[in-house]
Chains A and B, each alone.
Chain A
Amino acid sequence: MIQIYFALALLALGLIVGSILERAHYSRIKKRERALRDFQAMSLNMVPRSDEVSRASMRMGSVVISVDYFKRFAAGLKKLFGGEIHSYSSLLDRARREALLRLKDNCKDADLVVNLRFETCTLSNGSNSNIGSVEVVAYGTAVWYRNDQREDLPPPVPTATRF
């Protein structure tokens, strides 16, 4: 009986604290994304206006993030029925956005990030085969343009949509 109460307590803790933390993380992510929205990162392989580049260097950002106890339990249940597992989608979404933001933080003075790639890996403890925690690395080539010529040239292609 004690074990059941203990498990329920862990589930409740995971549900309450986990969702508070997740909401806080999402609001931090959104705030930072707004602040950095003019600094674009793209997955294109080519560099626009490549003849005006003064410097290019690879930068990365990474994060290891884990899902809470309640969500892990809910995902275990969901696995019986199939379908989208929302608890893991939000985990990976948070991890990718956070990793991208850290990449951008690592090269704030650059003009553009090209050839952005994401790499995801699972950290398993061996003992349990649950997803639990994932690591996401975002890496790309930060590009700095030569400043002296930028004024006489047409501005870079504007972004079509802002969310």
Chain B
Amino acid sequence: MIVTNTETVPGMHMVKHFGLVQGSTIRAKNIGRDFMAGMKNLVGGELKGYTELLQESRDEALRRLIEQAEDLGANAVVNLRFSTSSVAAGAAEILCYGTAVQVSQLPPA
């Protein structure tokens, strides 16, 4: 599966459009990480626990999007966008959406 956030896949041309695909996940923070983050909030700096948490969630959302695209018979997703929203205190939704397409290699020039 080729995923890009440009409007086309460079070096390939689009054969077929399958429309919008999306994947999302909602994650809550956990207490251990939250405690460490609270301590870190005093002196500032990176909150590694949260970086990892959001990275995992984003990978999960992307995996769901790819699953959906595969079900449609696509071999690429173009124009991918990310969006985040906080649903409730301590929980965040990660959404990614894009257009599922079928691409094929350009004939050699």
CB < 8 Å A-B pair total: 129
Render A44-69 as a binary contact track against B, CB cut-off 8 A, 1 for contact. 01110011111111101011111111
Instruction: Check: B32 CB closer than 8 A to any chain A CB.
Output: no
With A62-B54, A64-B50, A64-B54 known as contacts, the answer to whether A115 contacts B6 (CB < 8 A) is yes
Segment from A77-85, A132-140, A154-162 that makes contact with B: A132-140
Closest CB pairs A-B (n = 6): A126-B89, A68-B44, A53-B11, A64-B50, A53-B10, A47-B10
B57-94 interface (Cβ within 8 A of A):
58, 80, 82-86, 88-90, 92
Using a Cβ–Cβ cut-off of 8 Å, how many residues does chain B contribute to the interface with A?
Answer: 36
What DSSP secondary structure best describes chain B's contact surface?
A: mixed
Which residues of A are at the interface with B, using a C-beta cutoff of 8 A?
10, 13-14, 17-18, 21-22, 25, 45-47, 50-58, 60, 62-69, 71, 91, 98, 114-115, 117, 119, 121-127, 132-133, 135, 137, 139-141, 143
